[in-house]
Amino acid sequence: MRPPLPPFTNETAIGKVRLAEDGWNSRNPEKVSLAYTEDSAWRNRDTFITGRAEIVRFLTEKWQKEQAYRLIKELFAFTDNRIAVRYAYEFHDANGQWHRAYGNENWVFDAQGLMQNRYASINNLQIRETDRLFHWSQGRRPDDHPGLSDLGL
């Protein structure tokens, strides 16, 4: 079981989104993969992924390339066992160039609260280091740090 469980309420959907954000900000691929079903199917940009082993491989490679990764997710909509989120994350590449990625995800959960499907559409924008907005220490975003709407994103 991976609470909160569907069917979602506004409160439990917001909680599920925050748990996902916290997991991804841990940058621990094995830990993150446990939030997904064994046969979870993803579409991430132009990459199609199936199962936890592929999720771990994908996230390991992602966080090797996307250094100093910091993510904020925000609930967009929900119903029964589905949640839609919008998000932004910042990172720099191996050359020190900063980026902000903007995206939307659609999630489908099983009865145990594990994500069966994840459909992600993402766009990257190069930014100057001085334009960064996500400045907390690596890891979980502090509760008092502004969210996407507060930041005008």
Q: pLDDT per residue over 103-145, tens digit each?
A: 999 999 999 999 999 999 999 999 999 999 999 999 999 999 9
pLDDT on residue 48: 98
Domains of the chain with bracketed CATH: 10-131 (3.10.450.50)
Average pLDDT of span 10-31: 98
- Cα separations (Å) of 5 from 1, 75, 82, 83, 87? 8, 16, 11, 12, 22
pLDDT on residue 69: 98
Average pLDDT of span 35-54: 97
Q: What is the mean pLDDT of the chain?
A: 98
